[in-house]
């Protein structure tokens, strides 16, 4: 737990407990995070901590404070029954008022950047409340609802939405069957700033790591969409290209492992896809960098940029890596003794950030092209090429389809 519990004091004299996670920057845009039916439990605190790493100061109010203050439930049958009982007693209208009071209180804290607008994010019960907040709190810049239950019952309020609204819906959610999803989608198509995403083959609570329906891929995709919406509406803005350049400067120029690791989150990971080299977590990755990467690259290794795409959460780099294979390169050509050959490799790097820190790298290249250039793989009769892949990336006018034996057969045929 990275945050702390505080007391929220409202203008009407009410007081309730809330979990506060402070932005990694010390101060950030304010978000109120709304709980599932299980209370402000570990899963909700971890969601808040994750958003704090993204640059936000997050308040998670105890929305059950009128019914049973500070209750924290797990996901077993007994806890689920208790959670459902609390849900049946819960007053949504008072819940929205608690969100408003939490937003107002958050503005009074030094950790909240009051120069920008605020957002609300919710899961399950909290997802419905995030939707209602979008409808009823006009100054709200962004609302994000994960598998909100019962949104279809309040669609008449959607005409009041002024800020950004993002809904994440599970295709297999029994609480939101196909007819309900269709109704929600058709209605919100008329709302200018609304985005509705349906995640195929996943169930309710797909973004809850501790839950039986957790789906990592869908959860990550939804999180990326959430952060993208937040960046566009409330910030913060990070220069991801500059942060990435600083990282690779320490990898290839200064060759400083501690400085390289300092550009990353506490538990990052790197995956070089063709060779499955890299590391997961600080200990493994720093070991990898120290003994198998940073100090084990040829002296003449260079990167030629081809293109760069910078998004809200990641950088995608297309480049050519060139070097002389005059020493062993564990991460790129593991187990192969130096051949002295010159090599040029088209590469693609997808670099994900969490707030101002690099979170992970996925690096792709054609390993067959590398092996052909080293003389290890004979391309004769195989649909692979060597240095030509790099050359054609730079000069698109070079011949295409040279690996296709049937290419000449279509030369005289008409084209539609």
Which residues participate in catalysis according to the annotation? 124, 173, 204
Measured distance CA(36)–CA(58) in Å, rounded: 16
> What distance in Å separates the CA atoms of residue 160 and residue 151, rounded to the nearest whole number?
14
How far is residue 385's CA from residue 369's CA, in Å, rounded to a whole number? 5
Partners of 317 in beta bridges: 308, 349
Query: What letter does residue 39 receive in the DSSP assignment?
Result: B
CB 58 within 8 A of CB 48: yes
Phi and psi, residue 355, nearest 5°: 65, -135
- How many H-runs (helices) and E-runs (strands) does the chain carry? 11, 14
Q: Are 118 and 59 in contact (CB under 8 A)?
A: no
Structure tokens of 288? 């990898």
Name the β-bridge partners of 344.
322
Q: Is 356 exposed, middle or buried (0-12, 13-18, 19+ CB in 10 A)?
A: middle
Q: Are 135 and 161 in contact (CB under 8 A)?
A: yes
Rounded Cα gap, residues 225 and 123, in angstroms: 15
DSSP element (H, E) containing 304: strand 302-310
Output DSSP code: residue 192: T
Per DSSP bridges, beta strands 342-354 and 357-365 are antiparallel
Residue tagged 């990694």 (tokens): 24
Contact (Cβ atoms closer than 8 angstroms) between residue 23 and residue 52? yes
Cβ neighbours of residue 278 under 8 Å, at least 6 residues apart?
269, 270, 271, 272, 285, 288, 331, 361
Q: Are 168 and 222 in contact (CB under 8 A)?
A: yes
Instruction: Say what angle helices 125-136 and 92-107 make with each other, to 10 degrees.
Output: 70
Asked, as a colleague might, if the bond just before 117 is cis with ω within 30 of 0, I would say: no
- Measure CA 15 to chain center: 34
The C-alpha atoms of residue 354 and residue 204 are separated, in whole angstroms, by 25
């Amino acid at each position: 737990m990275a945050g702390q519990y505080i007391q929220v004091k409202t203008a009407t004299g009410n007081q309730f407990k809330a979990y506060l996670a402070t932005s990694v920057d010390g101060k950030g845009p304010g978000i109120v995070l709304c709980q599932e039916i299980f209370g402000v439990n570990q899963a909700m605190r971890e969601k808040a901590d994750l958003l704090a790493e993204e640059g936000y100061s997050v308040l998670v109010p105890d929305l059950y404070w009128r019914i049973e203050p500070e209750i924290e439930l797990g996901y077993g049958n007994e806890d689920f029954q208790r959670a459902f009982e609390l849900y049946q007693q819960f007053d949504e209208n008072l819940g929205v008022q608690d969100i408003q009071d939490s937003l107002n209180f958050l503005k009074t804290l030094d950790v909240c950047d009051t120069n920008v607008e605020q957002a609300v994010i919710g899961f399950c019960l909290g997802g419905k409340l995030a939707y209602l907040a979008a409808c009823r709190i006009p100054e709200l810049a962004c609302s994000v609802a994960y598998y909100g239950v019962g949104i279809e019952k309040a669609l008449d309020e959607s005409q009041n939405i002024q800020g950004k609204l993002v809904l994440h819906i599970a295709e297999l959610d029994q609480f939101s069957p196909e007819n309900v999803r269709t109704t929600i989608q058709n209605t919100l198509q008329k709302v200018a700033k609304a985005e509705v995403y349906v995640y195929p083959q996943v169930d309710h609570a797909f973004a809850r790591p501790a839950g039986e329906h957790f789906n990592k891929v869908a959860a990550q995709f939804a999180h990326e969409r959430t952060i993208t919406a937040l960046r566009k509406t409330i910030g913060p803005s990070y220069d991801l290209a500059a942060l990435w350049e600083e990282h690779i400067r320490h990898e290839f120029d200064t060759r400083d492992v501690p400085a390289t690791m300092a550009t990353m989150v506490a538990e990052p990971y790197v995956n070089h896809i063709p060779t499955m080299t890299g590391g997961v977590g600080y200990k493994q990755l720093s070991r990898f960098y120290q003994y198998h990467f940073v100090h084990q690259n040829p002296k003449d290794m260079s990167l030629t940029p081809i293109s760069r795409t910078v998004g809200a959460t990641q950088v995608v780099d297309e480049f050519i890596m060139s070097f002389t294979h005059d020493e062993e390169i564990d991460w790129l050509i593991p187990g192969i003794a130096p051949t002295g050959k010159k090599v040029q490799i088209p590469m693609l790097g997808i670099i994900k950030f969490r707030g101002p820190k690099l979170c992970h790298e996925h690096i792709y290249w054609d390993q067959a092209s590398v092996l052909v250039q080293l003389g290890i793989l004979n391309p004769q009769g195989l649909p692979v090429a060597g240095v030509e892949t790099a050359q054609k990336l730079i000069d698109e006018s070079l011949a295409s389809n040279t690996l296709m034996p049937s290419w000449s057969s279509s030369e005289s045929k008409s084209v539609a």
